[in-house]
Amino acid sequence: MSLNGLIIYNGSLYSDKFIDYANMLKESAIKKGHTIHLVKNNEIHSLLKTNELALLSQSPLKSIDYIIFTDKDIYLAHHLEAMGYRLFNSAYATEVSDDKIKSYQILAKKKLPIPKTLIAPKNFINPFENNTKFLNHAIKSFNFPFVIKEAFGSFGEQVYLVHNKSDVENALDKIGYRPFMCQEFITSSYGRDIRLQVVGDDVITTMKRSSEVDFRANITSGGKMDTYLPSEAEKSLAITATKALGLDFAGVDLLFGKNSERVICEVNSNAHIRNLLDCTGVNVADSIIEYIDREVNK
Ligand SMILES: Nc1ncnc2c1ncn2[C@@H]1O[C@H](COP(=O)(O)OP(=O)(O)O)[C@@H](O)[C@H]1O
Ligand SMILES: [Mg+2]
């Protein structure tokens, strides 16, 4: 059966990265013979009534077989699912992978390897003053340097390596009231990680990222990409992490632990697949569309 799909992307972000991702998926869907529309999240409005869930939109939303939800507008994702639409990734999976604290909690519960992490208590006033006891625990648990990481963030921009109390103060100043955690710094992985792209039960392609200028391996922070042949153990860890968070597909970042073990850094529900294409020549969008086609036609 030829499918009718919708790709939802964020309408408020002006970076080309998001529309590029949506367009890559669209091209693959068209190749597969699907009918496909791109819609911005801010062009669909969720209406709730006592007896009805509805959508206010000018886009054609009838007879949609699947929605690829490339955005993080969780309320919209849940609303669409409540109306019966099939989302890839699901609202739950998108929600927990967007929130790094929730992700680590789920991964730890499944006994998967993560950096030792201490979650900051929720604060309503004076974040710095009220965090003194917590920060003392963090300093004792990790020693300097350690990582302060916001629950929500991308491109490495909300991840800080702190070497002393003054770095901590600067990081907390930036973070304000947003949720964050302190985390052991995996020194053996300084500026390096591997990105494995999982779709369903398979690792589709992998790259290694390394930076000579920053502790973060993100390309945006100066990381350089290289092809990488993952071991069976690395593949299996990436697939297990993806499934633990309920994701259909994900870009999984693994750090290099001090005894050559791999440690999960994060699981991205909407990974930047253009970089993977540039580095490895593999178009992950094709695999995602193949997977969706199989799942919806099941
Ligand atoms: N605990 C850690 N130890 C060592 N390096 C880390 C740690 N956490 C993050 N990093 C580095 O910082 C980068 C960005 O962190 P990540 O948690 O993936 O946030 P983002 O979502 O912004 O990419 C990682 O790719 C990795 O290179
Ligand atoms: Mg990352």
Task: Say whether the peptide bond before residue 89 is cis (omega within 30 degrees of 0).
Answer: yes
Nearest in space to 199 (alpha carbons), one of 243, 162, 167, 154: 243
Atom 11, ligand 1: residue with shortest CA distance: 216
Distance 267 CA to ligand 2 centre (A): 8
Distance 219 CA to ligand 2 centre (A): 10
Q: What is the pTM of this model?
A: 0.96
Nearest ligand (C-alpha, residue 153): 1
What pLDDT does residue 215 have? 97
Nearest ligand (C-alpha, residue 156): 1
What pLDDT does residue 84 have? 96
Nearest in space to 66 (alpha carbons), one of 47, 85, 49, 53: 85
The CA radius of gyration of the chain, in Å to the nearest whole number, is 20
Q: What domains are defined for the chain?
A: 4-88 (3.40.50.20), 96-113+188-292 (3.30.470.20), 117-185 (3.30.1490.20)
pLDDT tens-place string over residues 10-45? 998 767 777 999 999 999 999 999 999 999 999 999
Instruction: Provide the greatest CA pair distance for the chain.
Output: 61
Residues 6+ apart with CB under 8 A from 108: 114, 117
Q: Is 275 in the pocket of ligand 1 (CB under 6 A)?
A: no
Q: Is 195 in the pocket of ligand 1 (CB under 6 A)?
A: no
Distance 222 CA to ligand 1 centre (A): 13
Nearest ligand (C-alpha, residue 255): 1
Q: Which residue has the tokens 């003053």?
A: 129
Residues with CB under 5 A from ligand 2 (ion): 253, 266
| Centroid of chain to Cα 157 | 14
Whether residue 268 contacts residue 251, with contact meaning beta carbons closer than 8 Å, is answered with yes
What pLDDT does residue 236 have? 98
What pLDDT does residue 242 have? 98
Cα(287)–Cα(202) distance, integer angstroms? 10
Q: Is 223 in the pocket of ligand 1 (CB under 6 A)?
A: no
Give pLDDT < 70 ranges for the chain: 14, 127-129
Q: Is 113 in the pocket of ligand 1 (CB under 6 A)?
A: no
Cα-based distances in Å from 200 to 41, 185, 242: 25, 30, 9
Nearest in space to 114 (alpha carbons), one of 253, 268, 270: 253
Q: Is 18 in the pocket of ligand 1 (CB under 6 A)?
A: no
Nearest-atom number in ligand 1 for the CA of 189 is 4
Nearest ligand (C-alpha, residue 158): 1
What pLDDT does residue 54 have? 93
What pLDDT does residue 69 have? 98
Nearest-atom number in ligand 1 for the CA of 193 is 27
Nearest in space to 227 (alpha carbons), one of 255, 202, 208: 208
Atom 25, ligand 1: residue with shortest CA distance: 217
